[in-house]
């Protein structure tokens, strides 16, 4: 069991006194394991390596305590190939459905008859979209907007649904916990990924 609620050199400003200590305690009671929270430098290193910025609420949680249980990304000591695979999962799923299930968004224009060209268009559209940050298993939080309160998506190829209106409501739904913190009443619109919600 971990004892420090945040890393000793963390100087971040919490989004709010959202109940992250309470949330971590509740998750621990469900059997999840945590390590000391990420330092500012560790956050910066992850963001530079993977090309995204943690939204403030996810950053605040990860700097309060880092989940290290199975199926969580371990941003401190996880294998690089595992983290890279998690980051690539959404784009690979879309490519799979473009190739195998005739998936195509109307907003992308006319689908090229050549599969390689169609895949190139889809890849470019995904690259323009907000990054999806792995939270747990195939649950993802978009990095845009750079504000607290983004929804959590369940992503399996192009079967994409809202799994929480925000991070706190997601954790409550996924792990069957209750907290006292404020939460979004409905998911905010998210560019690109919101269009794929089924």
| pLDDT tens per residue across span 156-171 | 999 999 999 999 999 9
Residue 33, pLDDT > 90, answer yes
Tell me the angle at which helices 20-29 and 56-64 cross, rounded to the nearest 10 degrees: 60
Q: What is the pLDDT of residues 181-193, one digit of tens each?
A: 888 989 999 999 9
Is 97 contained in some domain? yes
| CA–CA distance, 100 with 115 (Å, rounded to integer) | 10
63 in a structural domain:
yes
The answer to the question of residue 12 being in a domain is no
pLDDT for 36-57, tens place per residue? 999 999 999 999 999 999 999 9
Would you state the pLDDT for residue 3? 47
Whether 20 and 58 have beta carbons less than 8 Å apart is answered as no
Mean of pLDDT values over 61-69: 97
**Selected residue with higher pLDDT from 9 and 187:** 187
The three-point CA angle 21-22-25 to 5° equals 85
Whole-number average pLDDT of the chain:
91
Sheet order of strands, 132-136 included: 132-136, 139-142, 152-156, 159-164
Position 180 scores a pLDDT of 86
pLDDT bin (cut points 50, 70, 90) of residue 11 is very low
Residue 2 has pLDDT above 50, yes or no: no
Domain count across the chain: 1
Which tens digits make up the pLDDT trace of 78-117? 999 999 999 999 999 999 999 999 999 999 999 999 999 9
- Is residue 8, in this structure, part of any structural domain at all? no
Residue 5 lies in a domain: no
Q: 115: domain range?
A: 20-196
User: What sign results for the dihedral spanned by CA atoms 126, 129, 133, 134?
Assistant: negative
Query: Residue 69 domain-assigned?
Result: yes
Give the pLDDT band (50/70/90) at residue 18: low
Q: Once rounded to an integer, what is the mean pLDDT over residues 19-37?
A: 95
Residue-level pLDDT at 181: 82
Residue 11 lies in a domain: no
Q: What pLDDT, on a 0 to 100 scale, did the predictor assign at position 182?
A: 86
CA distances in angstroms from 53 to 2, 130, 133, listed in the order given: 26, 10, 9
Residue 4 falls inside a structural domain = no
Round to whole Å and give the CA distance between 198 and 189.
14
Is residue 123 within 8 A of residue 93, CB to CB? The reply is: no
The answer to whether 141 touches 133, Cβ cutoff 8 Å, is: yes
């Amino acid at each position: 069991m971990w004892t420090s609620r945040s890393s000793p050199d963390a100087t971040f400003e919490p989004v709010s006194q959202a109940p992250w200590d309470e949330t971590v305690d509740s998750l621990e009671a469900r059997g999840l394991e945590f390590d000391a929270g990420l330092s500012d430098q560790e956050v910066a290193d992850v963001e530079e390596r993977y090309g995204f910025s943690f939204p403030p609420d996810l950053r605040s949680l990860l700097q309060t305590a880092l989940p290290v249980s199975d199926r969580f990304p371990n941003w401190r000591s996880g294998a690089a190939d595992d983290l890279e695979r998690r980051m690539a999962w959404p784009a690979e799923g879309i490519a799979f459905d473009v190739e195998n299930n005739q998936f195509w968004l109307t907003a992308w224009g006319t689908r090229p008859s050549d599969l390689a060209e169609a895949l190139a268009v889809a890849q470019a559209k995904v690259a323009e979209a907000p990054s999806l940050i792995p939270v747990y298993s195939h649950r993802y939080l978009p990095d845009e907007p750079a504000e607290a309160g983004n929804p959590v998506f369940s992503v399996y190829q192009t079967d994409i649904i809202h799994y929480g209106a925000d991070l706190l409501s997601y954790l409550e739904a996924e792990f069957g916990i209750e907290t006292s913190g404020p939460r979004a009443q409905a998911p905010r619109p998210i560019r690109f990924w919101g269009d794929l919600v089924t």
